[in-house]
Amino acid sequence: MGKPLGRFDRFTLFIATGFGLGKAPMAPGTFGTLAGLPLIFIMVWLSGSAAVAFYLVCLILFSVWVADRAEKLLGQKDPGCIVIDEMAGYCIALSLVPVTFSTLVAGFAAFRCFDIVKPAPVRYFERKFNGGAGVVLDDIMAGVLAALLLKLVRTAGLL
């Protein structure tokens, strides 16, 4: 048996698992995506495009670091309980449209679809990178695709 985890490592795992939602017995990525809601509300509160861009860059870098550390602590490559990547990807998905109930729902659905199906650009990032970057960057790309889809649908007046 390994040595017990210290407070900092336990806190890192708490963040990595989306405040525990990533430990759901079924669909941890889907439940973990919901943990991104507070992060989206912070993004809305920031409101300025430069502040939001800075926030998203910091969130991505922080997510990569947390995911990398959590992988090492758990001794597994991209375990399903790490959902900070879904949290960051969901934020990206909502970054190009006003946040309303309908965009939250549509963004959630679009992000989860791109994250699960993993079309070519998403799959590329999943395969190309290792460690924390490998955990997070495919979800960031899924978020980018979802954001572009939401922007298109909203511009067309369908949302």
Residue pLDDT, tens place only, 17-58: 999 999 999 999 999 999 999 999 999 999 789 999 999 999
Residue pLDDT, tens place only, 49-87: 999 999 999 999 999 999 999 999 999 999 999 999 999
- Is the pLDDT at 115 greater than 80, yes or no? yes
The half-sphere exposure of 47 on its side-chain side, counting CA atoms within 13 A, is 1
3-state SS assignment for residue 129:
coil
Render the burial of 31-53: b for 16+ CB within 10 Å, e for the rest. Answer: bbbbbbbebbeebeeeeeeeebe
Where in the chain are the domains? Answer: 7-155
Instruction: Please tell me the distance from the alpha carbon of residue 37 to that of residue 87, in angstroms, as a whole number.
Output: 8
**pLDDT at residue number 1:** 46
Secondary-structure percent of the chain, ordered helix, strand, coil, rounded to 5: 75, 0, 25
Residue 59: C-alpha distances to residues 6, 74, 117, 154 (Å) = 24, 22, 24, 25
Angle at CA 18, nearest 5°, toward 104 and 37? 20
Q: What is the mean pLDDT of the chain?
A: 95
Instruction: Please tell me the distance from the alpha carbon of residue 49 to that of residue 40, in angstroms, as a whole number.
Output: 14
Q: What is the pTM of this model?
A: 0.95
Tokens at 150, concatenated: 């939401």
